[in-house]
Structure 1
Amino acid sequence: MYVSDKWRDYEVIDTGNGDKLERWGSYILRRPDPQIIWPITKEDGLWKKTDGHYHRSSSGGGEWQFNSQLPERWTISYGELSFHIKPTSFKHTGLFPEQAVNWSWMMDKIRTADRPIRVLNLFAYSGGATVAAAAAGAEVVHVDASKGMVQWAKENAQLSGLSDKPIRFITDDVFKFVQREQRRGRQYDAIIMDPPSYGRGPNGETWKLEENLFPFLEFCTTILSDHPLFMLINSYTTGLSPSVLHNLLHMTMAKRFGGAIHCGEIGLPITASGLNLPCGILGRWESV
């Protein structure tokens, strides 16, 4: 498992009964997690002193119960990177802290490449990877179908002192954008993607991972430079294994460029138990 264990402003304090107890800066939140199928060892202490608790609804979705006056949003940092945090109506906070292990990896790859690197971040959400790549010196194109998330990513870049860096923020259907880039002859040295299980573009375009991921990944190889640096795929789709990502990268990236493939689970350390919480999977292709 690839574990994001270098955080200071974030912590999984404890887990159990389908929930995780987290510290986001100085605020304690309790949120559901379907992976947590074990009981809470002892539901006391900070479990009883949360600033916010997201309650799931039996009919789907849920709502926040706030037990103290939280700011509309606040800031946490990971090394030189800073991010706005805000509890949203769909339980998320605008950041997936387990991705920090990927940020560190890609920053090291970019900084040691000894050449200019152009990065394309697809399904880019609030821009964690965008901020990391830009901070490492890459030129970045950030693409997401949600206008609100693209704005959030812009604010994270500003917060991290990257306003003057070469970052393009684009609200668009990612597949159509990649097709246009291919027609324009634009090329990238690295591609990052975090494809959803299912999604809709700004004009009603549909995305189904099991149908679209392989052809999309295959098409993405056509906009890579002759000597690409890396390809990173993240997935939170239930039932999708690291071996599936390995096979996809083998049939696309390795087939065309050689290189090395590394896949596995991604997770976070749990302070109370010393165990690791699985949070999804990743697939990395890199040049050798």
Structure 2
Amino acid sequence: MRDLLHAALKRRAPLLTPDTDAVRLVDAEGDGFPDVYLETFADRWLVSTAHGGFPRGFERPDKAVYWKRLDQHQKEAPVHMSGPSVDEPFLIRENGAAFEISFQSGYSQGIFLDQRDNRAEVRRRMQPGLRLLNTFAYTGAFSVAAALGGAETTTLDLSQPYLDWAKRNFTHNGLDPAGHHFCKGDTFHWLKRFAKQGRQFDAIVLDPPTFSRDEKGKVFRVETDYGELASLAMACLAPGGWLLCCTNCRKLDDFGFDRQILAASPKRLKLRHSPMPADFIGDPYLKSVWVEG
């Protein structure tokens, strides 16, 4: 096991640079560790396991190591296992951008590393005068990437604490949140409202949870309802604009995902698929499709 871990760390070493200090170091079966994931956040380790206990050999007396159980029903905050404790939020760097991370915030630590390459492409595509809508935004990482590219952003999420976190991420990057928009509420509601108002965006990010239920009890499942979401988003898309459609739903294959997206518009759409980042060498669960009319 020690040799396998050493090999995994050596394989990821080129990805760790002064501009990027948060990557996945162990990706389960891809690195010979079934159901075990290891991510580093500015040299603080987070070990996640799908089954069983904390894996032997991952303790480090001189490094903060936390353990999270990937339980679908009992979502607990990471537990401190070895090294210094991390009691306050801290910053990581990703392609030169800063993002706030917390091991004390509950089940989610503030960023999803599997979207790193997509965030970089969003930043490259943006420029002053363009408008991006980031739905299901969580802590606003896509919004920060777009704003760093010069865009005016609208960040949409159900949670006010996450919107506040997103504003802090703007501030960490020298961006004034007052120059951007933050909307609290249901994405379906807001997309319908934007369309009715005639408000359009040059780019829209759609990365919803695989399952959710709105305040009226309506259920959303990616495998059956993503097309409806994409259709509402396309109604808010400016001419020449694009969507980034993502899902980590394992029940939905690439063909089924593409089919829902294509059915969402009467126009002929051009789809381009993005692979997962180089440190994610196990199950390619994340589907990322760039959509242009």
The reply to whether TM is greater than 0.5 is yes
Residues 174-193 of structure 1: pairs in structure 2 closer than 5 A = 174-193=187-206
The answer (yes or no) to whether the contact 2:38–2:46 under 8 Å persists in 1 is yes
Matched, 1:252 2:252: no
Match for residue 31 of structure 1 among 17, 39, 48: 48
The residue type equivalent to 1:188 in the other structure is F
1:266 aligns with 276
2:39 aligns with 22
TM-score with structure 2 setting the length: 0.80
Match for residue 53 of structure 1 among 42, 45, 67: 67
1:131, distance to aligned residue in structure 2 (A): 0.3
Residues 83-122 of structure 1: pairs in structure 2 closer than 5 A = 83-87=99-103, 90-111=106-127, 116-122=129-135
The residue type equivalent to 1:65 in the other structure is V
Structure 2 alignment gaps of length 5 or more? 1-14
Give CA-to-partner distance per residue, 1:83-117, whole Å, 9 cap, x none: 00012565321101121100111122224xxx721
**Counterpart-to-counterpart distance in 1, 2:72 and 2:166:** 32
> 1:226 is paired with a residue of what secondary structure?
strand
1:134 aligns with 147
**Counterpart-to-counterpart distance in 2, 1:282 and 1:176:** 24
Residues 143-158 of structure 1: pairs in structure 2 closer than 5 A = 143-158=156-171
> 2:139 is paired with a residue of what secondary structure?
coil
Structure 1 alignment gaps of length 5 or more? none
The answer (yes or no) to whether the contact 1:54–1:63 under 8 Å persists in 2 is yes
> 1:93 is paired with a residue of what secondary structure?
coil
Structure ranking higher on relative contact order (CA contacts 8 Å, 6+ apart): 1
The answer (yes or no) to whether the contact 1:75–1:82 under 8 Å persists in 2 is yes
Moved more, 86-95 or 151-160: 86-95
TM-score with structure 1 setting the length: 0.81
Give CA-to-partner distance per residue, 1:183-215, whole Å, 9 cap, x none: 111111111011111224467664333343212
1:281 aligns with 287
List 4+ stretches of structure 1 deviating above 6 A: none
Matched, 1:44 2:54: no
1:215 aligns with 228
Match for residue 10 of structure 1 among 6, 18, 22: 22
**Counterpart-to-counterpart distance in 1, 2:179 and 2:169:** 14
- How much identity, in percent, do the aligned residues show? 21
The answer (yes or no) to whether the contact 1:192–1:232 under 8 Å persists in 2 is yes
- Going from structure 1 to structure 2, the CA distance change for 1:234 and 1:33 (only over 3 Å counts) comes to farther
- Going from structure 1 to structure 2, the CA distance change for 1:219 and 1:63 (only over 3 Å counts) comes to closer
